[in-house]
Structure 1
Amino acid sequence: MSWIPFKIGQPKKQIVPKTVERDFEREYGKLQQLEDQTKKLQKDMKKSTDADVAMSKSAVKISSDLLSNPLCEQDPDFLTMVTALDTAMKRMDSFNQEKVNQIQKTVIEPLKKFSSVFPSLNMAVKRREQTLQDYKRLQSKVEKYEEKEKTGPILAKLHQAREELRPVKEDFEAKNKQLLEEMPKFYSSRIDYFEPSFESLIRAQVVYYTEMHKIFRDLTEQIDEPGLTDEQREKENEAKLSELRALSIVADD
């Protein structure tokens, strides 16, 4: 014969109004969604800054590798062009690092601190649920004795059950009231909390791309050949490539 665990009976009396329970579920659901969104945003921001750092470091490495290419020793004009590119890439990397540091300080870290609040909130909700279960169990116990014949022993047990119920009921009502009051306030506070972070993010991007415009404008002025369009450069490259393909060492068998 299998063992059947004891199941806590549900009270017949509706101890928490359905409207109150719906309000609680709605407010807590909003906070759960906020927690998920905050964690996702923190993760995405970290990915973005990591990608930015990797991009600028790769650009610096490319220009550095070009500088060490033997072609630079043979062609002074090419050396001048690559030197200008290397300088521009290092400037870009420097501004990018400033941007990433600012985003880390004003966006990612505040997101991380905000996320750290949720475990305490979730624990408060869990304690409220545990107290509610105790409340239901004891209310069911009271109802059971209220339905029995009112003998001396039963009345004594009823009195004891009611005494056990009273502090648990008060504790639940206090926890429930506090959460229903504070959860909407916490949810509303997200706007004032995050607004400065997102303003800082936008400003950091604006400053960075403004500087990038200046850097690449200067670079263009240094390496651009007047009167030569991109289409003309493409034709020149194709002509040179055709010459290379005509060499016997690269001819098809």
Structure 2
Amino acid sequence: MSWIGLKKAINRAGTQVMLKTGHIEQTIDKEFEIEEKRFKQMENNSILLQKRLRSYLESLKLLTNSQLNIGELLNSFYGNEKPDSHILENPNTGESIETFKNLTSEYYATLNKINNETVKDLENPFNQTVLNPIARFNSYYVEVNEAIKKRNNKLLDYDAMKNKLKKLLETPKIELIDQDTKFKELNKELNESETKYMEINNLLKKELPKLINMRIEFFDPSFESFVKIQLRFFNEIYFQMKNLQIKIDAKTKQDYIDGILDDRIDEVLAKMKQLDITGKDEPIE
């Protein structure tokens, strides 16, 4: 920072303190304050939206990856060993263990396809039509905030000059020999600072509403794309799972609908409790 810039920063800091303590009269523009508040609200919302959309994509990846991990465990649960003859079939349904092995293997393959292909097919259009546009829109906030900061600095300079001129006018003439000369100098500086402040202030009051109103036109295509991408993603998962579902035996599906499947699970759990695996009568060494 140059010496002039440093001097201005110090003077503005002093002006801010005096404004807060009420020693300097502050210039207030209600119209600008309303537009600035609207802009800040839009900025906060769109930045949060960008974070949530990025999180949404990561959540889908975590979801499909978790499904894949479950599918892998289910696939290995039945093992690769050849089952014993007395457990080749389920006594309730007549289904062979080998049938379940084939189903879980296909289930794992389906989830692997979803995780490696469906999600990847989703990621590129999601980035191009949803994430990247909002990131580009949010990048403009840096320049706008710089303009607002510059406007606030010009306002501080303007209020400081008004205060200097006011003090000069309140000083008795007998205490100042060249009061008229100083008045002309300060009045000139005041007019210059007012012009600089009014230029950027009026520009922001004109342009901020335009930027705020642009959000609808800008985000509409991305919102439409976001809905279509979700529809496509979940439809693909639905059809892949549906193709797997029809391979499950009709009796198991009907038992699930009738609530009998839960009773069968409870029956198996009850039988497991009756197993004397630990050898209760023998001490554990």
Normalising TM by the smaller chain, what interval?
0.7 to 0.9
Identity over aligned pairs, percent = 23
Pair 1:229 & 2:243 matched? no
Provide the rounded CA distance (Å) in 2 between the counterparts of 1:100 and 1:77. 35
Q: Please tell me whether the aligned partners of residues 91 and 215 of structure 1 are also in contact (alpha carbons under 8 angstroms).
A: no
Query: Is 1:84 aligned to 2:106, yes or no?
Result: yes
Equivalences for 1:91-240 in 2 at 5 Å?
Answer: 91-93=113-115, 94-147=117-170, 148-149=172-173, 153-226=178-251, 228-230=254-256, 231-240=259-268
Deviates more, 1:159-168 or 1:67-76: 67-76
> What residue ranges of structure 1 are gaps of 5+ in the alignment?
none
Paired position in structure 2 for 1:55 = 63
**Tell me, what secondary structure is at the counterpart of 2:24?**
coil
- Unmatched runs of 5 consecutive residues or more in structure 2: 1-13, 84-96
**Contact 1:142–1:158 (Cα < 8 Å) also in 2:** yes
**Correspondent of 1:10 among 4, 24, 34:** 24
Deviation of 1:194 (Å): 0.9
Taking a change above 3 Å as real, the CA distance of residues 251 and 116 of structure 1, as seen in their structure-2 partners, is: farther
Describe the shift of the 1:72–1:240 C-alpha distance in structure 2 as closer, same or farther (beyond 3 A): farther
CA deviation map 1:10-42 (0-9, x unaligned): 35xx8x5x5xx1111110001111111112111
Instruction: Please tell me whether the aligned partners of residues 53 and 97 of structure 1 are also in contact (alpha carbons under 8 angstroms).
Output: no
Moved more, 155-164 or 144-153: 144-153
Residue 46 of structure 1 is matched in structure 2 by 54
TM-score under structure 1 length normalisation: 0.85
Distance 2:272 2:189 in 1: 95
Question: Could you give the per-residue CA deviations for residues 89-136 of structure 1, whole angstroms, max 9, x where no partner exists?
Answer: 123222233223332332222222222221221221111111111111
Q: Distance in 1 between matches of 2:71 and 2:279?
A: 32
Q: Could you say if the C-alpha distance between residues 145 and 243 of structure 1 is closer, same or farther in structure 2, counting changes exceeding 3 Å?
A: closer
Change (3 A) 1:134 1:57: same
Distance between the aligned counterparts of 2:213 and 2:247, measured in 1?
A: 53
Comparing 55-64 and 106-115, the one that deviates more = 106-115
Paired residues of 1:53 and 1:96 also in contact (CA < 8 A): yes
- Distance in 2, Cα, partners of 1:110 & 1:252: 67
